[in-house]
Structure formats: structure tokens, C-alpha cells
Amino acid sequence: MTLADLGRAGAAAAVAIVLVLAVTFASSRVAGRHSVIDTAWGLLFAAAALAAFLATAGAGNPARRYLLLAMTVGWGLRLALHIGRRSRGRPEDPRYERLLARAPGSRDRYALRVVYLLQGVLALAVSAPVLVAMVTPGPVAGLAWAGIALWGVGLFFEAVGDAQLQRWRSDPVHRGGVIDVGLWRYTRHPNYFGDACVWWGIFLVAAERWPGVLTVLAPVLMTVLLTRGSGVRIMEQHMRERPGWDAYAARTPVFLPRPSRRPPRDDRA
């Protein structure tokens, strides 16, 4: 790996992220809501990985490059499609309403700084294992297979948890209730837990060669964002007013899955 290769990967990823953000911002003006950035979150990583892959042709190990490209793009596209379908036709997210209500001037300029630019910087930082490993030579070994397995576990928790929640919400009898079936029996946030596993898995693929070990702060940052940032913390604040939440929270771990302390209630209040 050379600094020139790494520089090309980083520069290409940054340009791709800026382009996705520019298109997303333009789309937000058409849709009349800034929450479209949620759909673009996964696309930022997919675009960064693809741009780095194309910009560094001939560098690194081909097997590792294709592996990381598939892992990142596969995760990013699934997430974008899920959020896009879920948010279609909905009004502005209350989170962004509250945030932009504090704008000292133009709401759009404020959103560009504190929503779009911030998410772009975070996406580039979290993508560090992908960018470094794309240009790292050496064969793919055992740690990469462990990373693939962890990524698979994460994608399972994320995709199945999202599907179970969507199916549960489709029944009007559950409106205003708290889901405690399927994976949601074992963790209050299987989708966020899965997201963290995906990025720790990607890190393990990068970490079997020394430069990749230095990117450990990337999955740490993603985990902090999920548990302390706009993931678990915000969702818990939203859900704690619902009937049945206290009992559900008392028997179900917040993040790391484990068996419930007692069987779920028959009523879904």
C-alpha cells in the first residue's frame, strides 16, 4: 500500500459522498422535507466504496477489494431501499423539525451544515476500513472469514428485524403498541445491533493486515452513533411513552441480544 493509493481512495470516496449529498439536497427541495437524507445514509457508503474501488484499480488484493465492495454496497443498498419504502409519502420527520426550528437563519443553509455536511463527514470516517483495505496487499486469510460471518449475522438481524417490525406495524391492532415478537424479544433494537455487527465485520476484513488495524475507531464511531447518537437514544425517548414499554424494557436488553427474562405477554398493549 502506498500513500498515493490511499489518497486516491479517500479523494474518490469524498467526491462520491459530496455528489450523493448534492443530489439528496436537491431531492429534499422537491420533496419538501430534509428527512430524505435518511434514505441516502446507506447510499453514501455504497458510493464511497464503489468510487474508491474504481479509483484504485490495480492496487491491493483483488479478492479483498471485491469482497469489501460487495459487503458495503450490499448493506448500503438494502438499507436505502428499506428506508425509502418506509418513508414514502410521509411528512417531515419530527427530529428534523425540532432541529431546524433552532436555525438562526435560513433553514436550508442550516440543514446543509448540521445535517448533510455532518453525515457526509461521518460516512467518510466510518468508511475508513473499506478505503484502507481496498489498497492493502496480502492474501485474504482467516480473520476475513470471521468478518464475513459477523457481517452476515449483522445483516440478518438488521434485515429480519426490519421485516418483522414492518409486518407487525401493518396490523392495525398493534397501532401505538410495543413489538415484542421475533428478534425483538431478545433485543429492543435488533436492527441497530445488526448495523453495528456489519461494520465490525467489515473492520475485521480490513484488520487482518496491519494498516487496517488502525481503522478500529471507525466501527467504534458507528457503534457510538447507533447507541448514543440518533439511533437507540432517540428511539427510546420516542417509545417510552407507549403503554407496555416499561414492562418490555424491564425484560428485554437494550442492545446486545439475550433471552428475555420471562416469556412475552399474550397481549401486545
Report the percentage of the chain scoring pLDDT > 70: 96
> Per-residue pLDDT tens for 80-103?
999 999 888 888 888 888 888 888
Distance separating alpha carbons of residues 200 and 75, to the nearest angstrom: 13
Q: Are 232 and 254 in contact (CB under 8 A)?
A: yes
Distance separating alpha carbons of residues 69 and 220, to the nearest angstrom: 21
- Domain positions in the chain are 1-137, 141-269
Backbone angles phi, psi at 83, to 5 degrees: -70, -35
> Per-residue pLDDT tens for 172-218?
999 989 999 999 999 999 999 999 999 999 999 999 998 999 999 99
Judge whether residue 263 has pLDDT over 70.
no
- Other C-beta atoms closer than 10 Å to the C-beta of 22 total 11
Distance separating alpha carbons of residues 65 and 19, to the nearest angstrom: 23
Judge whether residue 266 has pLDDT over 70.
no
- Other C-beta atoms closer than 10 Å to the C-beta of 102 total 9
Cα–chain-centroid distance for residue 52?
19
User: Reduced to 3 states, what is the DSSP secondary structure of residue 66?
Assistant: helix
Query: How is residue 172 annotated by DSSP?
Result: G
| pLDDT score at 262 | 60
Mean pLDDT over residues 25-47, rounded? 94
- Helical spans, DSSP H, in the chain: 3-31, 36-55, 62-87, 94-100, 107-111, 118-126, 128-134, 142-169, 190-207, 210-213, 217-228, 232-239, 245-251
- Other C-beta atoms closer than 10 Å to the C-beta of 258 total 9
Report in angstroms the alpha-carbon separations of 93 from 39, 96, 121, 155. Answer: 12, 6, 22, 25
| pLDDT score at 88 | 86
Mean pLDDT over residues 60-74, rounded? 97
Determine whether 32 is exposed, middle or buried from the number of CB atoms within 10 Å of its CB (0-12, 13-18, 19+): exposed
Cα–chain-centroid distance for residue 2?
29
Judge whether residue 269 has pLDDT over 50.
no
Contacts (Cβ under 8 Å, ≥6 apart) of 227: 192, 196, 233, 255
Distance separating alpha carbons of residues 5 and 1, to the nearest angstrom: 7
pLDDT band at 268 (very low <50, low <70, confident <90, very high): very low
Report in angstroms the alpha-carbon separations of 223 from 89, 119, 160, 231, 260. Answer: 30, 15, 19, 10, 23
